[in-house]
Structure 1
Amino acid sequence: MRLSDLERVAPALLPHRSATVRPIDWELLQTTLGVALPTDYREFVDHYPPLHLDDVMILRVPEPGDEAAYVSGVFSLSEEFASLSEDGLTEDYTFHPAEGGLICWGGTDTGDYFFWRKDGPDPDRWPAVVSSSTSYWWEHDGGFLALIVGLIDGTVEHWGLPPQPGPNPTVGLALPAPPTQD
């Protein structure tokens, strides 16, 4: 799946597309996360800021020069979900940095989350994992772009998710997460 496939089903993305590649420090992200991220996600991030689709689905992306905040968010969410895992609420999924752990890449305003499951050394083969607010967990083998495109064009069921994003979704800038208190 390519970025052009997402832009085809969500043409409202195009006004938000950067004319040049956004200067993301991918080496810093890989070093601090301890893993490389999937190519389709990197392609998206190279051209788009954090966005929401249909005012529901939020796509988390690092910002140029503030990659550390993205990494901090990944580890913070992993810690929160690890505590839920201890209570048996995560269907036996583990969270980054654990082997096979999940890395969050998005969510919805209704409490659903989207992850990659680190399944082997090739991030381009990692499946997407969905945790719905209704405590329903499921996987999609296609990864980041394939899941989003499928949710938009209807080829992927919205199991436990809101019906959005739907066909030809609206697109807007997502607000950055508030700073954390240390």
Structure 2
Amino acid sequence: MASRSAAVDVLADVVGWSGLPKWQPDWEVTERLLGLALPDDYKALLDTVPMGEYAGTVSMNAPTLRGHEGDLLALFREVMLSLKSGRKKPYAAFPELPGLIPWAEFDHPMGGTLFWLADEGNPNSWPVVAWGADGNWEEYDVGAVGFLIALVRGKLPSKLLAPKPGAPAYRTSQDLPGAPNNTGR
């Protein structure tokens, strides 16, 4: 379990989450499969706030689903294949470094994927990169939690992502049928 951070506490407060996740990712397995450590804020977030949807637009799942427990890249298999095929992209795909590692999807207004631009340095310094379905890219000099805080507060400087009007700041998906549970809660 990753240690809580002040930023995760801020995000949990902003979105009104005070419960406990029903799935605790096994970060040792996830990082071993990836061959890299992941950002601490991302791990602390999923250890504190369960998978769900932020601002009606960003969907975040734990690396647990579809028979590939702990495999973050398997969760985004099609996206990774798209990055490696077709026209040249402005960023390389992991395992090339620096390269993109996906961590969430968004669907408003155009849709797309959120990545870290991973390198061999400190994962807590990896910027977030958005790739829109329209082929546009944006880079943010914040981590996953800082990105989500800005999004739900309506302060994310983006042409690709915006809070969906009328959507709640956060909606958990841990109680949906078929959602993983390894804590017995």
Structure 1 and Structure 2 fold alike (TM over 0.5): yes
* Alpha-carbon distance between aligned partners in 1 of 2:166 and 2:121, rounded to the nearest angstrom: 33
The 5 A counterparts of 1:101-116 are 101-109=99-107, 110-116=110-116
Instruction: For structure 1, list consecutive stretches of 5 or more residues without a partner in the other structure.
Output: 178-182
Q: What amino acid does structure 2 have at the position aligned with 1:43?
A: A
The Cα shift of 1:49 comes to 3.0
Q: Quote the residue 1:18 is aligned against.
A: 21
Whether 2:7 is the aligned partner of 1:2: answer yes
Q: Quote the residue 1:82 is aligned against.
A: 84
Does 137-146 or 72-81 show the bigger shift? 72-81
Measured on the aligned residues, the alpha-carbon RMSD in Å equals 2.9
Q: Quote the residue 1:124 is aligned against.
A: 124
* Alpha-carbon distance between aligned partners in 1 of 2:164 and 2:149, rounded to the nearest angstrom: 12
Q: Quote the residue 2:94 is aligned against.
A: 96
TM-score (norm 2): 0.77
User: Per the alignment, in what secondary structure is the counterpart of residue 134 of structure 2?
Assistant: coil
TM-score (norm 1): 0.78
Structure 1 runs of 4+ aligned residues shifted over 4 Å read: 165-168, 174-177
In structure 2, relative to structure 1, the CA distance for the partners of 1:153 and 1:167 (3 Å cut) is farther
Q: What amino acid does structure 1 have at the position aligned with 2:21?
A: S
CA contact (8 A) 1:51 1:171 kept: yes
- Work out the number of aligned pairs and report it: 169
The Cα shift of 1:127 comes to 0.3
* Alpha-carbon distance between aligned partners in 1 of 2:14 and 2:171, rounded to the nearest angstrom: 12
Q: Quote the residue 2:141 is aligned against.
A: 141
Q: Which has the higher helix share?
A: 1
